[in-house]
Structure 1
Amino acid sequence: MSAPSRIAGLIAAQAQAQRARLRLAAAAGAVVSVSAVCLLGLSGWFITGAAFAGLAGAAAAQSFNYMMPSAVIRLLAIIRTGGRYVERVAGHEAALKALARLRPQLFDAIAAGPAERALSLSSGEVSARLVQDVDAVQTLFVRRSVPWSLGAGAASAVLLASLASPLAGLALSCAMAAACIGGVLVARRLADPAGRAAQIDVGVLKDRLAALEAAAPELKAYGLNDWAAAQVAAVAADHDRSQMALARSGGWMAAWQAVATALAVGVVVPAAYGADLPLIALAALAAVMGVESAGGLVAALHHNGAARQALSRLEAAVPAPPAAARHGPHGAALGLDAVDADLTPPVRLGLFGPSGAGKTTLIERLIGLRTPIAGEMRLDGVDAAEIAPEDRRALFAYAAQDVRLLNGSVRDNLLLASPADDAALWEALDDAALGDRIRAEPLGLDTPVGPNGERLSGGERRRLGLARAYLRDAPWLVLDEPTEGLDAATETRVLEALQRRLTLRTQGLILVSHRAPPMAMCQRSVRVNGMDDAGCVQLASPPNARRRPGPAADQAVRSGCRAATGHG
């Protein structure tokens, strides 16, 4: 299934779920249009008739029945007000409920797709698509009542105009058709391009703001605040221009509606020539309200370009699901070309090599954050490229080098790994040498960490990511530079706790590090030499990569790891 059909399917499903509210909004919109047309038409007839009765003398005025028309006018005013309230409440409630369900579905679709696609979207771009783009889709739900309102208003207006003359009803029908056609043409010419540009520019603005906000400390440190402000101002200027163009298009559409109203009155009044003056007044005001009933169509057309661009952007963000199910592993045996036998937990494998050689790329391909290359690695004897990413991810608990944290509490960030009680959370924090730091906070586990953990130091963020990985129950623990930036004493505490956890849980370890102390824990080590022309990561096993039992062998392996990593 293609991405466009996925988005269309999600929106259709939400429209189906909200069909009762949408039908109520459509019915209320029809009632509003009919009551508005009848209210103004009847008011015109009543005022004109009363005026003529007064001019005819006291006897005519006394015989004029004003009670019934005035009562009907009051009734129509009440019905119009109540109908408008019901239409707005039902329509917007349906739209808001649909969008509230649509956002998590879109996020899930993005997160479940290829990791490269999800990770290629910046935080500002994702935010723009899940907020502004989804908000723009709101018009697709709200305007579902427009055809009913327009149809009911047009029918009632033509019927009232026909009371004066059938020709007046026909003339009004032609005038309203011309009004609608003209509105569509103006919208396609002016509103659609402006709406598309505005939707793109707001995404660019939000993306630029998010990128500069993330780099705010560096910008301040290097005195680049003015440069950053100029960057935002340039993007904001483009956004303002597109918004001004969209506003101008709305003005032209309103101007056309005024012209269409004058045209309708101009053709209806002559067509009703020969009828009583109250009926002519009724037909003229019915023509005004008949054109006015197309106001919902004008508003929908004004936002149509933004809605279409939003759909296009959402379709581009949501990947198509896999064409077919792929093979899932039955075990956790890991096979690499540089290792003579498959590795199974609780073995510990260390990956080292120069910066940029592909160590992080290798483990991200392994655990399902990137698409692996055929023949590069195996899981349980099956080529990793043949295994669905979600099946591979189930085998690994991962602490990345670049830790990403939610703007929530310590507890919120830890529970991303899996449900756990407070005792398990504290145990993970203690093993990451972070427990004492969090206990010192008045709120404890409920301590907020700020956007991306800005209230924590770099080492604390890294250790919080390590504690989160500890909470995931998986055969393999994958750590990318877990002790980088830590002082020697803290590193020793972290590694001692890691050694203890691995032993107690019989969990395997895949470690990427430039440092000797963590590499000394590994029973096997593999050097990453870079990537070949096909993008495959090139591996080599050092001569002393296999660990043998006994204290002397332990020391030999530690010495070999220090020599391989360049650390004494």
Structure 2
Amino acid sequence: MTNRPFPSRVGALIAAQRQAQRSRLRLAAAGGATVAVAAACLLGLSGWFITGAAIAGVAGSAAVQAFNYMMPSATIRLLAVLRTGARYIERVAGHEAALKALARLRPQLFDALASTPPAQALALSSGEASARLVQDVDAVQTLFVRLSAPWAMGAGVASSALLAGMASPLAGLMLLLAMGLGAAGSVLLARRLAAPAGRQVQIATGALKDRLSALEAVSPELKAYGLDRWAAGEAAHAAAGLDRAQIALSQAGGWMAAWQAAVTGLAVAAVIPATLGAPLPMTALAALAAVMGIESAAGLVGALLQNGAAVEATARLDALASPSSARQGSAPTTATLTLSADGDRMSPPLRLGLIGPSGAGKTTLIERLVGLRDAVADEARLGGLDIADIAPHDRLSLFAYAAQDIRLIDGTIRENLLLAGPADDETLWAALEDAALADRVRADPLGLDARVGPNGERLSGGERRRLGLARAYLRSAPWLVLDEPTEGLDPATEAQVLAALDRRLKAAGQGLIIVSHRPAPTRLCHRTFRVEGLTPDGRVRLTAHRQQALV
């Protein structure tokens, strides 16, 4: 059903799910084969019965009395019931297998995305990630649902050829040749027309969702600057690309349907003369068996039409789930931090401040430290090891991080806080108190269960920042890393937040690395470094700025 093998990792996941769902897939295949046989026999027998009954009626009352119509009519009813029941079993079993497989596949792919190197995972936009985890995984569904198509086609071909052969062996042979021609033409049309269109549909879907996600993220700015029409035009342009791909796929389906119709006519035209000399009812049986023989390939044609999308989806998913290329090394045994600026070994509860002009590299340095960017050699050391030789996961475990750009999920305050790890309500409220956000949450009738909206749109900028700060407080790590934690806060709220931060650090014995343009946060620090920019080899250049006694 595919024109190339599955990429390795996704192929292994799909193969594992096929194995897990093999009983349902076998049941669906048996149902499909039964449907094909019942349909061929039903139509062939109906043609024979109607023609035979008509001839008996013309021959006179004696022939009518001799004609046995009870057995054929009962058999026709049986075949109709059998076809309906088998179709139900095929659809239910096939789709149940697909849905259960996809329900297990999506979490595995999300885990694969989350475990890729940070530079790779964070480079994927939210819209593109959504397209791959939704549309691309949905396209893979055909690899399960359509597994019964070859069995149904095989059973339909065999039963139709056998029925036609009962009228004349030559008729059976002509039908086999016509069905072979139909299958070959369908494969050719699928490769030339349907496969490229299907692949383009998947790519265009990702491009559209990527564009819509980017526009949605800046929708307030677009409204403020009166760019609504421009944004609508950008979305329409991306949607037009998807429309063109879907039209091309529909046209490919139309050509394949037209080919099937032409082959059906050719098969009937070839089978009828081949039954010359056979009784007229047998000729009718052979002609209608030819129609059902070509029709039995409909499932395969449908699978071929969707094959391009499935192949492209597996390729895109495999790129998403590619094995980590990050260098693996020894994990640090201590949280001792050494910066290239002076070579001193610093350990919690030391508090370290980073200052410098905007764009100098302060955020770049801490993101390299915590494992959100690829590290540069000889820039910093953790536990005596160069951070470039430590896997991002091992670096990340040493830090609790509140970024400058706070990201929130479209859920409740509780759900956003629990991203840091399990905690009871008392602990959650304590973190909100230290972030000066508890009063705001208590004022909401739902409290911790109040929803924040997409990326926290129901909160103000300062409230979003403090919720991110509270979430960082809940993570147990040797170092607390804060990037502009009081930006956008009024002086009174800033003083409240910093006083609570000082108390929290003293109680926990936690180290602090803080980035800030404001003087108040860096007054908490024992040491301050100034970030001067990047060196030619990409390292962040630091100079020791200030050192004061421990408080």
Q: TM-score range by the shorter chain?
A: over 0.9
C-alpha distance in 1 between matches for 2:325 and 2:190: 38
Find the aligned partners of 2:542 and 2:275 in 1 and give their Cα distance: 90
AA matched with 1:220: K
What is the TM-score normalised by the length of structure 1?
0.95
Q: What is the CA-CA distance between 1:324 and the residue it aligns to?
A: 7.5
Quote how far apart the aligned CAs of 1:451 are. 0.2
Counterparts in 2 of 1:9 and 1:199: CA distance versus 1, 3 Å? same
Match status 1:445 vs 2:422: no
- The residue that corresponds to 2:289 in the other structure is 286
Aligned AA (2:125): S
Specify which of 231, 234, 246 is matched with residue 249 of structure 2.
246
Determine which of 152, 155, 158 is the counterpart of 2:158: 155
User: Is 1:356 paired with 2:352?
Assistant: no
Aligned residue for 1:416, secondary structure, equals helix
| Structure 2 residue 548 is matched with structure 1 residue 547 | yes
Secondary structure of the 1:483 match is: coil
Residue 103 of structure 1 aligns with which residue? Answer: 106
User: Residues 367-393 of structure 1, C-alpha deviation per residue, up to 9 Å, x if partnerless?
Assistant: 111110122111110111111111111
Is 1:486 matched up with 2:504? no
Per the alignment, in what secondary structure is the counterpart of residue 378 of structure 1?
Answer: strand
Counterpart Cα distance in 1 of 2:342 and 2:19 = 55
Q: Partner of 1:372: helix, strand, or coil?
A: coil
Matched, 1:427 2:463: no
Matched, 1:186 2:193: no
Find the aligned partners of 1:444 and 1:403 in 2 and give their Cα distance.
Answer: 21
User: Identity of paired residues, percent?
Assistant: 67
Structure-2 separation of matches of 1:104 and 1:413: 19
Report the CA distance between 1:106 and its aligned residue.
0.8
> 371-380 or 29-38, which moves further after superposition?
371-380
> Retained in 1: the 8 A contact 2:456–2:464?
yes
Question: Do structure 1's residue 398 and structure 2's residue 401 form an aligned pair?
Answer: yes
CA drift at 1:325: 4.7
Does the Cα contact within 8 Å between 1:374 and 1:384 map onto a contact in 2?
yes
* Partner Cα distance (1:321, 1:229) in 2: 38
Q: Distance in 2 between matches of 1:274 and 1:364?
A: 85
> After the TM superposition, which residues 549-564 of structure 1 pair with which residues of structure 2 at under 5 Å, given as runs?
549=550
How far apart in 2 are the matches of 1:94 and 1:403?
A: 39
- Counterpart of 1:316 in structure 2 is 319
1:165 equivalent to 2:174? Answer no
TM-score w.r.t. length of structure 2: 0.97
Q: Is 1:464 aligned to 2:475, yes or no?
A: no
2:43 is aligned, of 40, 44, 48, to 40
Q: What is the CA-CA distance between 1:110 and the residue it aligns to?
A: 0.7
> Helix, strand or coil: the match of 1:535?
coil
1:418 is aligned to 421
Could you say what secondary structure the match of 2:489 adopts?
A: coil
CA contact (8 A) 2:326 2:391 kept: no
Change (3 A) 1:499 1:418: same
Structure 1 position 322, deviation (Å): 4.6
- Specify the alignment match of 2:76 in structure 1: 73
Partner residue, 2:259: 256
> 1:114 maps to which residue?
117
Range that drifts further, 282-291 or 10-19? 10-19
**1:263-274 alignment, distance < 5 Å:** 263-274=266-277
Partner amino acid, structure 1, of 2:323? A
User: In 2, Cα distance between the equivalents of 1:203 and 1:169?
Assistant: 48
1:8 pairs with 2:8: no
What count of residue pairs does the alignment treat as equivalent? 547
Which amino acid letter does the alignment assign opposite residue 332 of structure 1?
A: A
**Structure 2 residue corresponding to 1:347, chosen from 341, 347, 350:** 350
Gaps in structure 1 of 5+ consecutive residues: 555-568
1:411 offset after TM fit, Å?
0.4
Whether the 8 Å contact between 1:114 and 1:319 is mirrored in structure 2 is: no
Distance in 2 (alpha carbons) for counterparts of 1:536 and 1:20 = 57
Structure 1 position 323, deviation (Å): 8.0
Change (3 A) 1:95 1:287: same
Unaligned runs of 5+ in 2: 1-5
**1:147-179 deviation per Cα after TM superposition (whole angstroms, max 9, x unaligned):** 101101101111111101111111111100000
**Deviations, residues 312-349 of structure 1 (Å, cap 9, x unaligned):** 22222223235885211111111111133211111011
